Structure 1
Amino acid sequence: MRVLSFGSLNIDYVYRVDGIVRPGETKRVKSRGVYAGGKGLNQSIAMARAGLPVFHAGKVGSDGEFLIKTLRESGVDTHLIAYSGKASGHTIIQVDDEGRNCILLYEGANQDIDEAYIDEVLAAFSRGDYLVVQNEISHVPLIIRKAKACGFTVIMNPSPYTPDIEGYPLQDVDIFILNEIEAEALTGISVPLEALRVLCHRYPHVQVVLTRGDEGALWGRQEDLIHQSAYPVKAVDTTAAGDTFLGYFIAGLVEGLPVSEALDLASRAAALCVTRLGAADSIPWRREVG
């Protein structure tokens, strides 16, 4: 069994500020850092650091060599990553004194994924492998359909949410991992528990994990429900918390842990992540999580 993370690779420009900038406002920053990021990269690193055999597929520009190096240093297999004529994707991230963030995303090479490349990547895998995909690269619906036809277990993080997600082949997804904003966008319901129940009813074969920051997480499938509390910590940067949670939860499931134990493992890892600055750099190793 292998895990294919088919996702984004971004250069993150992180600016520390005393408060998120408002419309029309100019603000001095406290510091600036340049990091490897992107939901795909972060989730690959989280799964690899949690102990899974992870292969990353995606594209970078000529400026993205350090993104590949970062993945390799965490134990991710990068031989499927391709180069694009476009610049690598990048983000501009503000992080305030409370650890909250807001993000601008330039997609770049992440939108250069085509069908020929998808077929080339999927041909390297077999029935029973896992696919993890987000919504930061092109042709996500095609990737899902082709992976499901190949017998993959399909895990989707519908982030960032865009209205066209509702036209994706979501019936082919086996596990959804999403936050409160994404759950509300998909269901029109702002109460997390009710949104979870709607998703479980709409997709009765699917496991749904709804993350809620310092309120913990909810897991559901059909009528089953589990609430996972968050571990209380002093947050300094929440940028990669959701990606860390996803990576460790999937690691727990693949290892055969009961869902409740996989949720607890993911919660502990995410709690440690938010006590550190940066995206990929903040993701803990399994030995640190315990």
Structure 2
Amino acid sequence: MKILNFGSLNLDYTYQVSHIVREGETILAKEVGLNLGGKGFNQSVALARAGISCYHAGLVGEEGLDFYDACETYGIKTDYMKTVTGRCGHTIIQVDEKGQNSIVLFGGANQKNSKEYVDEVLKNFDTGDIILLQNEINELPYLIDQAFAKGMTIVLNPSPYDERLEECDLGKISVFLLNETEGQQMTGMTTPATIVAAMAASYSNAKIVLTLGEGGSIYHQGDEELYQAAFEVKAVDTTAAGDTFTGYFVAGLYKKLPVKDILITASKAAALAVTKDGAAKSIPFMSEVELFNID
């Protein structure tokens, strides 16, 4: 069984600010940093640091060649990555004094995927392989359809949520990993319980994992529902928390671990990630997660 993450690769411009800028306001940034990121890349790093060497497929612009070296360093396989003309995807991230963030995303190369490229990549995968997807790339409906036709296990993080997701046949998704905001956007419901119930009613065959930040996480499939509390830490930067949780959760599925154990490990990893600044660089190694003191 193999894992393919067909996802975004972004250059992250991160600005440390006293507070998230308001409409019409100009503020001074205390610091600025440039890091490799993107939900796809971050989740591949999380998989790698959880002990799983996945394949990453995706497009980078001409200024994104550092991604290849970074993937080699992290242990991510780049057989199916490509470089295209033009700009990389990039983000402008504000991080306030409480570690909360606000993000503007430019798609760049992430929006240049073609059906031919999708076919070229997926021909190397088969029934039972896992494909992890996010909504920072184009051709998502085609990716879902083709992966489903091959019998792959499809894991979707529907982020960022927008109208393009309505073009996807979400009934083909095997696992949904989403946060409370995305759950509200998908279902129109406003509480964790009603979001999970609505998702379960619409996608009865799927595993549903709803993350709630400091509120923990909920897993639901069929008659089984589990709650996992978050681990209390001092947050510095929450940027990669969700991606860390996603990568560690998928790693647990790959290892066929009990769901309760997967939730605990993914929650501990996400907690550790918010104690450091940056995105990919904040994602902990499994050795750190195993030593994390939960008392």
TM-score scaled by length of structure 1: 0.99
Matched position secondary structure for 1:58: strand
Partner of 1:287: 287
Partner of 1:209: 209
Greater mean alpha carbon deviation, residues 140-149 or residues 220-229: 220-229
Partner of 1:253: 253
Task: After TM superposition, give the deviation of residue 166 of structure 1 in Å.
Answer: 2.4
Greater mean alpha carbon deviation, residues 236-245 or residues 223-232: 223-232
**Which runs of no fewer than 5 residues in structure 1 stay unpaired?**
none
CA distance in structure 2 between the aligned counterparts of 1:180 and 1:68, rounded to whole angstroms: 33
Task: After TM superposition, give the deviation of residue 192 of structure 1 in Å.
Answer: 1.2
4+ long deviations beyond 6 Å: none
- In 2, are the aligned partners of 1:166 and 1:186 still within 8 Å (CA)? no
- In 2, are the aligned partners of 1:200 and 1:208 still within 8 Å (CA)? yes
CA distance in structure 1 between the aligned counterparts of 2:34 and 2:53, rounded to whole angstroms: 27
Q: Percent same amino acid at aligned positions?
A: 47
CA distance in structure 2 between the aligned counterparts of 1:166 and 1:206, rounded to whole angstroms: 17
**Are residues 1:172 and 2:204 paired?**
no
Task: Render the CA deviation track for 1:49-68: whole Å, top value 9, x for unaligned.
Answer: 10113000000011001122
- In 2, are the aligned partners of 1:60 and 1:110 still within 8 Å (CA)? yes
CA distance in structure 2 between the aligned counterparts of 1:3 and 1:277, rounded to whole angstroms: 28
Task: After TM superposition, give the deviation of residue 287 of structure 1 in Å.
Answer: 1.1
Partner of 2:293: none
Task: After TM superposition, give the deviation of residue 86 of structure 1 in Å.
Answer: 2.1
**Are residues 1:185 and 2:185 paired?**
yes
Matched position secondary structure for 2:186: helix
Task: After TM superposition, give the deviation of residue 202 of structure 1 in Å.
Answer: 1.1
Partner of 1:223: 223
**Are residues 1:61 and 2:61 paired?**
yes
Q: How does 1:7-18 map to 2 (within 5 A)?
A: 7-18=7-18
- In 2, are the aligned partners of 1:88 and 1:107 still within 8 Å (CA)? yes
Task: After TM superposition, give the deviation of residue 85 of structure 1 in Å.
Answer: 1.4
CA distance in structure 2 between the aligned counterparts of 1:128 and 1:274, rounded to whole angstroms: 33
- In 2, are the aligned partners of 1:11 and 1:67 still within 8 Å (CA)? no
Q: How does 1:111-130 map to 2 (within 5 A)?
A: 111-130=111-130
Matched position secondary structure for 1:80: strand
CA distance in structure 2 between the aligned counterparts of 1:69 and 1:102, rounded to whole angstroms: 28
Partner of 1:22: 22
One-letter identity of the residue aligned with 2:9: L
Partner of 2:43: 43
Greater mean alpha carbon deviation, residues 232-241 or residues 218-227: 218-227
**Which runs of no fewer than 5 residues in structure 2 stay unpaired?**
291-295
Task: Render the CA deviation track for 1:97-135: whole Å, top value 9, x for unaligned.
Answer: 000000000100000000110000001112111000000
Root-mean-square deviation (CA, aligned residues, Å) is 0.8
Greater mean alpha carbon deviation, residues 22-31 or residues 219-228: 219-228
One-letter identity of the residue aligned with 2:217: A
Task: Render the CA deviation track for 1:233-267: whole Å, top value 9, x for unaligned.
Answer: 00000000000001101111211211011000000
- In 2, are the aligned partners of 1:60 and 1:88 still within 8 Å (CA)? yes
Greater mean alpha carbon deviation, residues 41-50 or residues 159-168: 159-168
CA distance in structure 1 between the aligned counterparts of 2:71 and 2:10, rounded to whole angstroms: 12
Task: After TM superposition, give the deviation of residue 167 of structure 1 in Å.
Answer: 2.8
Greater mean alpha carbon deviation, residues 63-72 or residues 75-84: 63-72
- In 2, are the aligned partners of 1:61 and 1:87 still within 8 Å (CA)? yes
Matched position secondary structure for 2:14: strand
Partner of 1:137: 137
Task: After TM superposition, give the deviation of residue 223 of structure 1 in Å.
Answer: 3.0
CA distance in structure 2 between the aligned counterparts of 1:113 and 1:287, rounded to whole angstroms: 36
- In 2, are the aligned partners of 1:201 and 1:222 still within 8 Å (CA)? no
CA distance in structure 2 between the aligned counterparts of 1:99 and 1:71, rounded to whole angstroms: 27
CA distance in structure 1 between the aligned counterparts of 2:18 and 2:67, rounded to whole angstroms: 29
Task: After TM superposition, give the deviation of residue 84 of structure 1 in Å.
Answer: 1.1
CA distance in structure 1 between the aligned counterparts of 2:72 and 2:208, rounded to whole angstroms: 30
Task: Render the CA deviation track for 1:163-199: whole Å, top value 9, x for unaligned.
Answer: 2312311011000000001100110001111111110
Partner of 2:163: 163
**Are residues 1:276 and 2:260 paired?**
no
Paired residue total: 290
